[in-house]
Amino acid sequence: MAKEKFERTKPHVNIGTIGHVDHGKTTLTAAITKVLAEKGQADFQDYSMIDKAPEERERGITINTAHVEYETANRHYAHVDCPGHADYVKNMITGAAQMDGAILVVSAADGPMPQTREHILLARQVGVPAIVVFLNKADMVDDEELIELVEMEVRELLSSYEFPGDEVPIVVGSALKALEGDAQYVAKIDELMDAVDSYIPTPVRDTDKPFLMPVEDVFTITGRGTVATGRVER
């Protein structure tokens, strides 16, 4: 039987989760797929499917960038979940260089941490045009003033790296609670995706020109042969 032709009717946007190790980037990625799967706009990917490497699951951290896909009413997204661990910054840069926009995940319980700053700087350096913020783990913070303080810190930090800190949408929620189906926090995932839809600009693609992918590196992998890596620019 002939394979059905894939036709993309919505604008395509490359997006990703960035932020400090253990602030909940992978849990948020899983929560987005779960909430959208219930509307038929994604295949649910749980945490273990996104963090595939044994070391990632054992240590509860992401090492390699992982990719998932989903849709909203307006767009089709390819989502890259970037590692927050300091040792894997090179993998994060490779992921960030492909992004049309990013979701910066910051724990409301901890506030901005070293990799939060590092990832904002990297996003600026590789030309990520827009950032939306998700203040995660809000269920662990009882004090509303503390959340407001963290929000203010994040806005100042973004402004210091020439992102429009005062304008950036900040959504306060809990990825874990959304993943568990808590209606209050599921609504926050919807709010986040609305912010991503409206705030991150739709990229202009040169689809009428020939394919272009500068080769960044070449590896020889046992059992696979020679593998070229790079970024598809057109």
CA angle 112, 117, 197 (to 5 degrees): 80
Q: Which of 17, 20, 22, 137 is catalytic?
A: 22
- Catalytic residue status for 22: yes
Q: Which distant-in-sequence residues (6+ apart) come within 8 Å of 63 by Cβ?
A: 53, 55, 56, 83, 85, 88, 91
Q: Which distant-in-sequence residues (6+ apart) come within 8 Å of 131 by Cβ?
A: 101, 102, 103, 104, 120, 123, 158, 163, 168
Q: Which two tokens stand for residue 116?
A: 């939060």
Distance CA(56)–CA(65), nearest Å, equals 11
What is the spatial order of strands in the sheet that 101-107 belongs to? 66-71, 76-81, 12-19, 101-107, 131-136, 170-172
Q: Which of 26, 29, 62, 65 is catalytic?
A: 26
Q: Which two tokens stand for residue 92?
A: 């994060």
Chain centre to alpha carbon of residue 189: 13
- Catalytic residue status for 25: yes
Distance CA(70)–CA(23), nearest Å, equals 22
Q: Which of 12, 76, 85, 202 is catalytic?
A: 85
Q: Which of 25, 34, 137, 188 is catalytic?
A: 25
Q: Which distant-in-sequence residues (6+ apart) come within 8 Å of 223 by Cβ?
A: none
SS3 state at 133: strand
- Catalytic residue status for 3: no
Active site residues: 22, 25-26, 85
